[in-house]
A and B are shown apart, each in its own frame.
Chain A
Amino acid sequence: MKTSSGLSRVNPLTYNLSMAGFIIGVIASMSLFVVATKAIDYTWRWYKIPSYFYGTTSYDVKADIQGTLESIVTKDKKTLIIVKGINDSEEYSLPESGNMLVSVGDNIYPGDIMAQYKKTGIGLLTKGILVTLEVSIYASIFGIIIGIIGGIMRISANPALKWTSIVYIELIRGSPLLVQIFIWYFVFAAIINGMLTSMGIHEISALWYGIAALSFFAGAYVTEIVRAGIESINIGQIEASRSLGMSSAQCMYHIVLPQALRRILPPLAGQFISLIKDSSLLGIIAVRELTKATREGITTSLQPYEFWFVCAILYLILTFTLSMFVQYLERRMETP
């Protein structure tokens, strides 16, 4: 909505001068940066980037144990290498097209590159984006579910529900997300996975503990947003629906929540944009999301500048898309 008011009129000359100043400022700071990178002899190699999205990557097959190469068998378009040690043996497989660097009977030591092969497919950064998206989508869905339940509990007349919600909010908001991720991964995950293993069930991967940490973190903020949304609904709406014989649950579901959710869409979007950015912390517990993938990309390419810029821009694309989507939703949900 554009508004023009007599209070905010700017004289055209001032306007143009300011605009020119802004553009000059942007260009100047960018040039300064380029000059500075020249001064420290950084060579930009942007051409290296695309292959990290999609392309052919070369992989090494490395031995883990010491022993003799027993056999090389090709079957079903795969090559199988078997290394036999003194009292153990290990199998390695690679595509048929791979290039063998050793032959049967050779002595193998740990770390030896036995073969190399190339594979075409999505690269490191694309995988990172997919993981970031996966984490963000799951955490947003769980976050909003937790938030709605928490928000309703927060305004409940039942003190047990209300105080559960308050304690949850204060605990989550009072400590750094990074610490919470550590607690989820090094405390909860250790306990839960330990129990699962002792029962003979598969461990849950770090990804899910990361999602849990983000969900509960976002959930606390969403709880407060939902509470504010519910409280912003005119009491007359509740009176009208209750006077028609609706139960408080029916009133909440049909009248209050639909109106509240529409109102809280903008702050909710802000929260989920934060969530996407916060997911970058999950690299610390070995979830290979975008930031972690970028760091790995830098170790193989040795081009940190390009990678960090690309990483930042990818986050910008994700968050911008989300905010566009929310604006679209807001327009769609608008009633006259």
Chain B
Amino acid sequence: MIKTENLYKTFYGDNGENVNALVDVSTEIEQGEVVVVIGPSGSGKSTYLRCLNHLEVATKGHIWIDDVDILDQKTNINKVREEVGMVFQSFNLFPHKSVKENVNLAQRVVRKKTKNDAEIKTMELLEKVGISEKADMFPAQLSGGQQQRVAIARALAMHPKIMLFDEPTSALDPEMIGEVLDVMKSLAREGMTMVVVTHEMGFAKEVANRVIFMDQGAIVEEGTPEHFFKNPTHDRTKLFLSQIL
């Protein structure tokens, strides 16, 4: 489903100081798999996720989404992005549009659905994330957890094959994390292919098929949650786990 091969990403600083955000990252994610990416801040996990839908352009290497090489100049990246939903740490809901319009918009504009069709799908999704009664409100009137659930519904409205989550609960008050994780868990149970960058180890243990640990732009260790949390092999992984658990 997602295949990355020898992926490099370098940020070129103005003062000549370059940051190697990704160093030789190669991995493959199968359909229906839930992969959790963890690592200290600055380890390149968000950059990796953002490369997957071309929000960051990788410096070198290959990414195939559904056998389409997204780093190929000829690839229509908008078409690829329609199939890859993304949820951001800061929600990024459209503040000038109501909840319903937030979810409707891309269906209408990108998928060219009729207003009626879009609305039916929208209400179905808002029902699913448990927020249908707020359909006519504006993002600023919702709590963080509610906003993030709308953002998930907005991404799902495009019928994506893959969902990317970039620290979806990091900006939330502690008591709101659960409601967002619940939505993500139910999504995982339905067989959605998911790549999740998170600090929620509970979620990783419970839902992930595989955990990838990154440090300094490289994949240090990957494996099942059991392997990862019970007997990690690398010292760096052990150190990280000892610091956060």
Q: A residues within 8 Å of B by Cβ?
A: 234, 236-237, 239-247, 250, 254-255, 258-259, 262, 335-336
Contacts and interface: CB of A to CB of B under 8 A. Distances in A.
A250 B151 CA distance: 19
A244 B110 contact: yes
Given A242-B55, A247-B78, A259-B96, A254 B140 contact: no
B220 to A, nearest CB: 27
B120 interface: no
Nearest to B109: A250
23 contacts: A234-B92, A237-B94, A239-B86, A239-B92, A240-B94, A240-B151, A241-B106, A243-B55, A243-B155, A244-B155, A244-B158, A245-B78, A245-B81, A245-B82, A245-B158, A246-B78, A247-B78, A250-B110, A259-B94, A259-B96, A335-B95, A335-B140, A336-B137
B203 interface: no
A250 B158 CA distance: 16
B192 to A, nearest CB: 16
Q: What 5 A-B pairs have minimum CB-CB distances, sorted nearest first?
A: A245-B82, A240-B92, A244-B106, A236-B92, A243-B86
A239 B88 contact: yes
A97 to B, nearest CB: 60
B10 interface: no
Interface of B: 53, 55, 78-79, 81-82, 84-86, 88, 90, 92-96, 105-106, 109-110, 137-138, 140-141, 151, 154-155, 158
A255 B94 contact: yes
A240 B154 CA distance: 10
B154 A335 contact: no
Residue in A234, A243, A250 whose Cβ sees the most chain B Cβ within 10 Å: A243
Contact of B109 (A236, A239, A240, A246): A246
A262 B96 contact: yes
A237 B94 CA distance: 7
Residue in B78, B138, B151, B158 whose Cβ sees the most chain A Cβ within 10 Å: B78
A336 B134 CA distance: 13
A197 to B, nearest CB: 49
A239 B55 contact: yes
B82 to A, nearest CB: 4
A254 B92 contact: no
A242 B81 contact: yes
A242 B140 CA distance: 21
A259 B93 CA distance: 12
Contacts of A335: 95-96, 138, 140
Contact of B53 (A243, A246, A259): A243
Contacts of B88: 236, 239-240
Nearest to A235: B92
B42 to A, nearest CB: 19
A123 to B, nearest CB: 46
Given A244-B81, A335-B96, A254 B105 contact: yes
Contacts of B141: 336
A236 B78 contact: no
